[in-house]
Amino acid sequence: MPTHSPTPPTLYFLDFDSSQAEDGSACWDAMASVQAPRWPEVLAEVQALLRWCQTQASPQPLEEGGLWDFDLQAQVEVAGSPLSQPLPLHWDGWQLQAPPPAWQQGQEPQSACWFSLSLTLVCHPSMDCLVRDAWLDEEG
């Protein structure tokens, strides 16, 4: 596994809201929506965030003794189409795999396309403290 600084990444696209359960665990939800040219930046930010979390512990459901786990969803809305297309994203433990959308034949991605991503982090109370220290202090 590559060695990375334990310094949390600066977040430009993801803005988290949190809620806390009675057992002290927390749920952190963030969304980002950008035009096609900014999509690689969003993916890089998510990858940096997941890498930082990975330096604390590997993702695992809290019910199984994990410190954190996550859910990641993405989609693209093509200009002129009322439908959105889901984008499969996969975290392999250190790298975010994000294949390009399967564009329809003859259609090219344009800046009029919007990419949306939602990320949910579920944290054990000890991991929640690290997340709060990392990103709530930035807000003031």
Task: Kindly write down the DSSP assignment for every residue of the chain, as one continuous string.
Answer: -----SSPPP-SS-EEEEEE-TTS-EEEEEEEEEEGGGHHHHHHHHHHHHHHHHHH-----GGGT-SEEEEEEEEEE-TT-S-EEE---EE-SS-EE-PPP-PPTT----TT-EEEEEEEEEE-HHHHHHHIIIIIGGG-
The fraction of the chain above a pLDDT of 70, given in percent, is 85
**Is residue 118 predicted with pLDDT exceeding 80?**
yes
- Read off the pTM: 0.84
* pLDDT classification of 2: cutoffs 50, 70, 90: very low
- Per-residue pLDDT reduced to its tens digit, 58-98: 999 999 999 999 999 999 987 777 778 889 999 988 899 98
